[in-house]
Structure 1
Amino acid sequence: MSKPADARHRRDNGSQPGVLMPVPASKLELPADYAVFLSAVKLRISQDRLKAQLSANAIQMVMYWDLGREILSKQQDAGWGAKIIDRLSADIRDAFPQMQGFSARNLKYMRAFAESWPDRELMQRTVAQIPWRSNLTLMEKLKDSDLRRWYARQTLQNGWSKDILAIQIDSALHLRVGQSANNFELTLPPLDSDMANQVFKDPYLFDFLGTTQVRREMELENKLVEHLEKFLLELGQGFAFVGRQVHVEVGGSDFYIDMLFYHLKLRCYVVIELKAGAFSPGQVSQLTMYMNIVNDVLRHPDDKPTIGLLLVREKNQTIAKYALTGNTQPIGVAEWEQIMTNALPADLQPSLPSVEEIETELGLEDGA
């Protein structure tokens, strides 16, 4: 008599006779479309987790705003004194001992939050999607409501962390965006031109080059590659690094592009030429040639025309604009500045408070 077909799955390893042992998951024969299905499931889980986090944050921000508005109203209309906030904080903590974020200082921040964003609907559309600590940065660093809205929108669009937001505010990004000398309006379609204007800025601030003055192009390039993450941060959202000294051979001659990037939103290559000295019109011709080569050799049919960026130590805005007039390639000219940041003397560092100590002093508890 033949053995049952499933006998091959039995194991004589001390288990009860006749008991079927499960086949290890790693040895299962998977359906042909399983990998696609798994990818879709993981994407859905990731998206839903992000939605849940954003939704939870939005609910928290609205609660903070509502509580801040009530406190503001009580103090303005009912004459409640500042000491009431201390009592309110203690009573909330007694009622909800497991919840954090209701220190007296944080309640005062909620009041300031409601005061800074008097329009509840506008608050829900913008800063309700931003973490609380980023909202604190907006309130503490920006007193002008228009600027606060601008940086809030940029934070949402670019996904800036609190620290990155603070850096962008301190470097006055709003004064630098769209300030490069360029010919985008004449060489790009209107929508692409507007986007390119917002992508490129002037000047670019490099605070990571060290304390020794950079005087040569190769030295500048080495420093930018050495601190590529910080360089990409200063370039802005959407830049992907392709390579440095990118070799191209044309007409039997070798050429090397200083730095090549691809911009994910503009959907095009960006050729960056670095100059340690002042701008001169002849530099535009060299950059134009490199852009033509990239368009001919590297550009995919679905890619948009390559954009060029000349980073120079200094420029005359009028001369730069005349040099770009009549050029059919989209090119921007911007200055770069070496920001000297000297480290604190070692003997002073131990006396400085840590980040944790500062947050404790400010009452910014975990989850606040």
Structure 2
Amino acid sequence: MTQLEPDFPSGYADLLDELKMRVRSARTATLRIVNTQLVELYWTIGQYVRKTQEAQGWGSAVIRQLSEDLRREFPDMKGLSARNIQYMTTFAKAWDEGPIAQQAVAQLPWGHITVLLDKQLDPATRNWYASSAVEFGWSRNVLLNMIMNKTLERSGAAPSNFAQQLVAQDSELAQQIAKDPYSFEFLGLSGEVAERDLEQKLMDRITETLRELGPGFAFVGRQVHFDVGGEDFYIDLLFFHVEQLRYIVVELKTGKFKPEYAGKLNFYIALVDDRLRREAHAETVGILICGSKNDHIVRYSLGRTTSPMAVASYTYDALPPDVRQELPDAESITAALDWTEPA
């Protein structure tokens, strides 16, 4: 903080703060423009090289020579390695319809784009991850994790009664936030685990938990207490979705789904609707996350409940312990990714 003399003109500090904010904003906008221009340049180079390769039948030797000549001409410019030029041609082929600057992918750093290219996703899936990374500001490692965990495929997949209990548009929005299964592998658990231990682990890793639940989730409380006619009741986890403006009740069960679980969740949703929901809020929904479920039993159970809810399963130990021990840890993987960043 700037130290001013006692007799310095009043209002100077406010002016300085305002100018600092404007400079930071302008620098961020400039960096964004520069990034888009760089991505557009890479896409253009890729288009020229790809089309010439297809017309002339050129192989990798030509790309290596092209890299050497361009680096000789532009010695201060990074990103002209043969490997990166090959990425450019792959990029141009993956997004073969321009103008590229008007597409979400153009707002991503080049390292993010190479992650999308390495995973060889179908066009619709690739565009979904690109748009989501832009919208939610995912880092490259978060983007990679989202792809590896099949976030798109799991989003909105949980069986629910939203279509019956909510109006059409509201139902579609609510369905989007109900994944199946949830991936809790970041907890580092294996074998049998108690419900309270699972709950504690999720709270210990709240940042990863919120990321897995999805964008818009804000944590409200754990074991949220309600007194109902002199009896005590506790909701496992309570969240608020800041985009949909609704409370979300999450109940955890480590075993297999049982029909009576839906009744208990229905009760908790009614409590939150009555005690916490305000007029501006959308209807409260519940998500029951179980160790496993029979979808036929789930659908029968949800068919008669009066509150909107979904039932999902979760995974936290996808690999056998002996296989997991052979894998590198997260820090090693991150270091390897940084080391292989295209030049």
TM bucket by the smaller chain? Answer: 0.7 to 0.9
Given the superposition, is the C-alpha separation of residues 53 and 327 from structure 1 closer, same or farther in structure 2, using an over 3 Å criterion?
farther
Structure 1 contact 210–340 (Cα < 8 Å) conserved: no
The question of 1:138 aligning with 2:116 is answered yes
**Distance across 2 between alignment mates of 1:317 and 1:355:** 38
Letter of the 2:194 counterpart = R
**Distance across 2 between alignment mates of 1:325 and 1:162:** 41
- After TM superposition, the structure 1 = structure 2 runs for residues 307-346 of structure 1, keeping only pairs within 5 Å, are 307-340=285-318, 342=321, 344=325
SS state at 2:299 partner: helix
Given the superposition, is the C-alpha separation of residues 332 and 111 from structure 1 closer, same or farther in structure 2, using an over 3 Å criterion?
same
> Structure 2 stretches of 5 or more lacking a match?
none
- The one of 239, 242, 246 equivalent to 2:224 is 246
SS state at 2:255 partner: coil
> Structure 1 stretches of 5 or more lacking a match?
1-22
The offset of 1:149, in angstroms, is: 2.1
The question of 1:91 aligning with 2:84 is answered no
The question of 1:288 aligning with 2:266 is answered yes
**Distance across 2 between alignment mates of 1:215 and 1:26:** 62
The offset of 1:73, in angstroms, is: 1.9
The question of 1:181 aligning with 2:159 is answered yes
Structure 2 length-normalised TM: 0.87
Structure 1 contact 58–124 (Cα < 8 Å) conserved: no
Match of 1:70 in 2: 48
- The one of 287, 300, 305 equivalent to 2:283 is 305
**Distance across 2 between alignment mates of 1:136 and 1:179:** 28
- After TM superposition, the structure 1 = structure 2 runs for residues 142-157 of structure 1, keeping only pairs within 5 Å, are 142-157=120-135
Match of 2:209 in 1: 231
> What per-residue deviation string (whole Å, max 9, x for no partner) do you get for residues 170-227 of structure 1?
2222321111111112222322211211111101111133343243211111111122
Larger Rg: 1
The offset of 1:90, in angstroms, is: 2.0
Structure 2 contact 111–341 (Cα < 8 Å) conserved: no
- The one of 145, 149, 169 equivalent to 1:191 is 169
The offset of 1:295, in angstroms, is: 1.9
SS state at 2:202 partner: helix
Structure 1 contact 246–259 (Cα < 8 Å) conserved: yes
SS state at 2:75 partner: coil
The offset of 1:156, in angstroms, is: 2.5
Match of 1:207 in 2: 185
**Distance across 2 between alignment mates of 1:150 and 1:68:** 22
Structure 1 contact 105–363 (Cα < 8 Å) conserved: no
Match of 2:37 in 1: 59
> What per-residue deviation string (whole Å, max 9, x for no partner) do you get for residues 153-173 of structure 1?
222333222212222222222
Match of 1:24 in 2: 4
Match of 1:159 in 2: 137
**Distance across 1 between alignment mates of 2:137 and 2:194:** 34
Count of residue pairs the alignment pairs up: 337
Tell me the percent identity: 36
Report the RMSD for the aligned CA atoms in angstroms.
2.9
Match of 1:118 in 2: 96
Structure 2 contact 255–292 (Cα < 8 Å) conserved: yes
Deviates more, 1:92-101 or 1:176-185: 92-101
Given the superposition, is the C-alpha separation of residues 293 and 355 from structure 1 closer, same or farther in structure 2, using an over 3 Å criterion?
closer
Given the superposition, is the C-alpha separation of residues 40 and 264 from structure 1 closer, same or farther in structure 2, using an over 3 Å criterion?
farther
Match of 1:11 in 2: none
Letter of the 1:270 counterpart = I
Structure 1 contact 134–165 (Cα < 8 Å) conserved: yes
Given the superposition, is the C-alpha separation of residues 187 and 46 from structure 1 closer, same or farther in structure 2, using an over 3 Å criterion?
farther
**Distance across 2 between alignment mates of 1:355 and 1:166:** 10
Structure 1 contact 214–220 (Cα < 8 Å) conserved: no
**Distance across 1 between alignment mates of 2:309 and 2:23:** 42
The offset of 1:40, in angstroms, is: 6.5
Letter of the 2:85 counterpart = L
SS state at 1:313 partner: strand
Structure 1 contact 269–307 (Cα < 8 Å) conserved: yes
SS state at 2:77 partner: coil
Letter of the 1:315 counterpart = K
